[in-house]
Each structure stands twice: as C-alpha cells, then as structure tokens.
Amino acid sequence: MSSMPLPPLADVLATARVVALPLAVRFRGVTTREAVVFEGPRGWTEFSPFLEYDDAEAATWLAGSFDFGWNPAPPALRETVAVNATMPAVAASEVPRILARYDGCRTVKVKVAEAGQTLADDVARVRAVREAVGPEGRVRVDANAAWNLDEAERAVHALAEFDLEYVEQPCAEIDELAQLRERIAYLDIPVAADESVRKAVDPLRVARAGAADLLVIKAQPLGGVHAALDIVARAGLPAVVSSALDTSIGLAMGATLAAALPGLDYDCGLGTASLFTTDVVASPLVAREGVLTLDRPRPSSAELDRVSAADDRRDWWLERLRRCHTLLERTAR
C-alpha cells in the first residue's frame, strides 16, 4: 500500500459485510467462498484471504483492500481486459458443462495436480479442454506448486501434446522452477510463477533467479494494485493478472490492475465469477465475448443481505480483520 494513513478500524467496520457465495463446482476444496466487503472513499473493496492463511499473510491482503478502497486508481491503458476460463480439477466429462459458463473466452486455465488425483486424470481433463477449444484456443495449466521437480518434468512431457501456452507454478521451490525451465527448454513451454511471487518474502527473487518466464500477479495478495504494478516493473518480466476466486468487487480490483499494466500480452484469470451461482451484485463481473469491462460494482443492502454469511462466520471474519488491522498498525509505526 502507498504511504496513505491506515484507515481507522471503526470506519472499516462501519460498512463491513461478510458474505458467502456458493460455487457451481468444488474449487480449491471448497463449495462456498467467503469474503468481507466494505466501502472506502473510492468505492467498495474486498478482504478475502484463504481460510488457511495466517494473520501475517492475510494482513497483506488487507493492505491491498485498503489500497483499492482508499487510493486513486492508476491510469487505465485499456478499456477492456480479455480473460480466460478457469477449469477446476473436474472429471473430463464435466469440461463442457464448466466451459459453457464462460462467454467467448479463447483461453482456458486448467487446474492439475489435485490431491487424490493422478496424472492420467490431468491428461484426460486437458485433452477434453483442448478438444473443446480447438487448435486456435489457448490452454494453460496450473499445478499450484504441487509437483516436485521430477513429477513436474514428467507431467509437462505428458501434457506437451496439447500445445500448452504455459505451465503455472509447477513446483514450490525457486531452484526447482529454474531447473525445470532448463529441462523442458526444448519443448518451448514457458514457466509462470504465482506462489513464488505472492507468497514470497521477496517477490522479486524468482525473477532474479531466472526461474520463470512470466509472473502471475494478484492485486489483493500483493498488497494492492499499486504494489503489484511496482513488483512487475522491477521484475522486468511479462505478467498476467489473476484472481483469488474473488467476488465481483475483488475482480474489479484485478481488472483495475490489468487495465494499468503495460504490455499485457496474456488473457487474464479474472473470469472466475462465472464459477459462482450468485454474487454480491445484481450484475456480476463476468466475461462478455471473452472480455471484462472496467466497471466498479456497487452492491445494494438487499444484495448483501441475500448473500450474508452465518453469524458465526461473520464473527470469525471480523475478528480476523481486526487482528490483521492491528498488524498493519504495528508495521506503520
């Protein structure tokens, strides 16, 4: 976040609402996505670190929320942002049903390396996606750091026949990513870094190590739109903007980042509102003919009431927000 003063906790809590959005398909092991949304001087913003993240990591997400709600947006370099469809780790037979939720997306990111599944499951899923999008479509895969080096090499070889645009975070460690890039260089399949940027103490280390061809960046986990733009500028690598299964409010944050990013050469992972059965606004921020417009959603009280979380979940999230705000206060001193 910039040097702006930390918003008072009372101001944040005054409009804070905890929401629970049902998913059309299980994703990251959940069927409901919870978030806190609240209104700042610049508009509505979102705090939604994943449940398993500790307070230190979640506090960075809160800083990103404040950046979007309190700071002016950077200048937009484009009026729309092309987005990809996201394919959860479903059975191959489910691929057409999921793709039908996305309007006009020419790129599909396929989740692979799901716990309890096999490489054969991944191959079948990616094959089904390639068959659905045809030779002109773009297919990328995301392992969420689940493979070790040898597993990653084997998987990339098994999936190479499907003409991959890139493989995202195949391994957890930066030295493994660097070695994998060398091993698969002849296949001409780029390696993208996600967790090695957003979960790293030093988000630039992966670029300095020559361990990635491009970065996958997410606004909220990196401390906000402005912080993410700074990381990309210093890394000197191409970047693609992605979401963290956000509500439409959080997706607007990602779209603001993507719109301001110089040289955006990739479709962005900001189409995930299509995985929800409902949202915080009447008109969710979903792709139309493969693109998002730069709308900033504003929910009504009735819409927020409709998706309100249960009381115990509301209390859990607001207490988490308080703890993270305290951490940011200590850092600011």
Q: Half-sphere exposure of 46 toward its Cβ, with a 13 Å CA cutoff? A: 31
Is 218 catalytic? The answer is yes
Q: Is 213 annotated as a binding residue?
A: no
* Domain made up of 9-72+301-332: CATH architecture: 2-Layer Sandwich (3.30)
CB atoms within 10 A of CB 144: 17
Closest to 144 (Cα-Cα) out of 229, 245, 75: 245
Q: Out of 79-88, 112-121, 130-139, 194-203, which region has the weakest mean confidence (pLDDT)?
A: 194-203
Phi, psi dihedral angles at 68 (to 5 degrees): -75, -35
Is 109 catalytic? The answer is no
Of 218, 226, 320, 325, the active-site residue reads 218
Q: Is 142 annotated as a binding residue?
A: yes
Is 9-72+301-332's fold the same as 80-293's? Answer: no
| Domain boundaries along the sequence of the chain | 9-72+301-332, 80-293
Asked if 289 contacts 103 with a C-beta cutoff of 8 angstroms, the reply is yes
Asked if 302 contacts 330 with a C-beta cutoff of 8 angstroms, the reply is no
Q: Is 295 annotated as a binding residue?
A: no
Q: Half-sphere exposure of 243 toward its Cβ, with a 13 Å CA cutoff? A: 32
Adjacent-strand bridge partners of 269? 242
CATH number of 80-293: 3.20.20.120
| pLDDT tens digits, one per residue of 53-76 | 999 999 999 999 999 999 999 999
Q: Out of 20-29, 99-108, 226-235, 310-319, which region has the weakest mean confidence (pLDDT)?
A: 20-29
Of 101, 109, 111, 130, the active-site residue reads 111
| pLDDT tens digits, one per residue of 32-43 | 999 999 999 999
Adjacent-strand bridge partners of 239? 215
| pLDDT tens digits, one per residue of 227-279 | 999 999 999 999 999 999 999 999 999 999 999 999 999 999 999 999 999 99
